[in-house]
């Protein structure tokens, strides 16, 4: 885990990904007691105005929680979104 010290006025935003109700044929149930889900991405700017994106990747989630492969496949798209946002 990485910690950042932010100056007053620095940008910080937490994006939380949730499954919209009614989408898809079947619902994937998030296993109980998995605090890392729903997946979150922390977006922040440091004192030198550099942008940072931080999230728990699918490999980490699999190792930590032994999640079903079907669930990992569905949340893996977030890694692509973060990579695209980072440029």
What residues make up the domain containing 71? Answer: 35-87
70 in any annotated domain: yes
In a domain, 71, yes or no: yes
CA distances from 86 to 3, 38, 42 (A): 19, 21, 12
Q: How many CB atoms lie within 10 A of CB 82?
A: 16
Domain total of the chain:
1
Answer whether 64's CB lies under 8 Å from 36's CB.
Answer: yes
Strand partners, 40: 16
pTM score, two decimals?
0.65
Quote the DSSP letter at residue 31: P
Determine the pLDDT at residue 24. Answer: 44
Using the Cα atoms of residue 58, residue 18, residue 80 and residue 1 in order, give the sign of their dihedral: negative
| Inside any domain, residue 59 | yes
Task: Spell out the per-residue pLDDT of the chain, length 87, in tens.
Answer: 333 444 445 667 788 877 554 434 445 566 667 788 778 888 888 888 888 888 888 889 888 888 888 888 888 888 888 888 877
């Amino acid at each position: 885990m990485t910690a950042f010290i932010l100056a007053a006025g620095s940008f910080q935003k937490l994006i939380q990904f949730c499954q919209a109700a009614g989408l898809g044929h079947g619902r994937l149930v998030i296993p109980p007691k998995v605090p890392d889900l729903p997946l979150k991405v922390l977006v922040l700017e440091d004192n030198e105005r550099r942008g940072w994106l931080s999230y728990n990747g699918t490999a980490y989630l699999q190792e930590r929680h032994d999640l079903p492969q079907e669930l990992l496949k569905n949340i893996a798209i977030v890694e692509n979104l973060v990579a695209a946002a980072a440029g």
